[in-house]
Amino acid sequence: MIANFARAFRLLSSDVEPYQLSLGICLGIVAGLSPLLTVQTLAVILLIIVLRVNFSMFMLSFGLVSVIAYLADPLIVLVGQQVLAIESLKDLFTQMYNSGLWRFLNFNNTAAMGSLVISLISILPLFFIFLVLIKKYRHVIERYLKNSRMFRWASQSKILTKAASMTDKVS
C-alpha cells in the first residue's frame, strides 16, 4: 500500500498524461463500487485494455474504493433499490429482465444497480475534477514542495530512499 502511494506520488510528478491518471482513478472507482460481475465491470476491463489508462492509478483507486464501498454498501443498495423501483422505468427493466444477457450481468441486483447509477453519475465530473487536481498539483503543489526544505531533506535522506526502494522491491 505504501509502495502504491509512493508510486502514485511519483506518477503524479512523472511525464504521464494527466488524463491517463484521472481516467485510471475514475475507472478504479467504477470497478471498486461494483460488487458483482456487472455491465460496468466488463466495460471497465475493456476500457483498461483498449485505452491508455494508468494501471497503477487504477489499482490504487480500485483498492481504496473497494474498502469504502464495503462500508457504503447499505447506501449503494438503497440507491439501487430506489432506481429499480422507479415506475416509469418498470417496462424497460421488465424487458431487460427477460433478456438473458442483462440477467447475466445482474442488472436487477440492488447493489449492482446502485453502483452503476453512482458510477454513471459521478464518472464524468470526477474525471474532470481529478484532471484539474492533477494539473494543479503539478503546477502549484509540486513546485512548492520541491522548493521546501523538508522535501529536499527527504529526497537527500539515505534512510528514506532505501526504505522507498525496499518497499518497491517487496511490492
Partner 1 sequence: MKVIRVKALLGFVISVSVITVILYLFSGTVLKWILQSQLTAANGAEVNITGVELSVTPLQLSITAIAVTDKENPTENLVEIDSAHVELSTESLLKSKIIISNMSVNNIRFSTQRASAGKIITETAEKADEKSIENNERLETTSLDLPDIDTLMDKVGMQTPAAIDSLDKSTDEVRKSWGEMEAYLDDTKKWDAFQDRYKKIKTDYKKGNTKTKLKALKALKDLNKEIKKELNTFSVQRKKLKTEYAELKSAYEKASQAPDNDINKIKSSYQLDGGGMENISRILFGENISGYLMTAKKYYKKVQPYLESDDDAVTTQEERQQGRYVHFKDFNPEPDFLIEKAGFSTLLPSGEFIGTATDITADQYVQNKPSVVALSGKHLKHSKAEDIKLTVDLRNKKERNLIFTYDISARQVKDYKVAGGDTLPLQMKTARLDLKSNIKFQNKKINGLAECKFTKVKFSSQRDTSKRSMASMIASSIEKVTDFNVDVRATGKPLKPKLRIKSDIDNKVNKQLKRRFNQIKVDYEKEVKAKFQQRYGDKIKAIEERMASIDEYKSSLESRQDGLKNKLNSYKK
Sites of contact with partner 1 (CB under 8 A)? 17, 35-36, 49-52, 73, 76-77, 80-81, 84-85, 90, 93-94, 97-98, 100-101, 103-104, 106, 108-112, 114
CB of 151 to partner 1, least distance (A): 30
Judged by CB, which is closer to partner 1: 73, or 167? 73
| Minimum distance from residue 3 beta carbon to partner 1 (Å) | 24
- Read off the amino acid at residue 137: Y
Q: Which is nearer to partner 1, 100 or 158 (CB)?
A: 100
User: Phi-psi region for residue 40, left (φ > 0), alpha (ψ -120 to 50) or beta?
Assistant: alpha
| Residue 127: burial class (beta carbons within 10 Å; 0-12, 13-18, 19+) | middle
Q: How far is the CB of 125 from partner 1 (least distance, A)?
A: 20
Structure-block grid coordinates of residue 137: 498539483
CA distances from 102 to 32, 74, 94 (A): 20, 23, 11
Q: Which amino acid, 1?
A: M
Q: Among residues 47 and 164, whose Cβ is nearest to partner 1?
A: 47
Terminal-residue alpha carbon distance, the chain: 8
Q: Give the nearest distance from C-beta 56 to partner 1 in angstroms.
A: 16
Nearer to partner 1, 93 or 137 (CB): 93
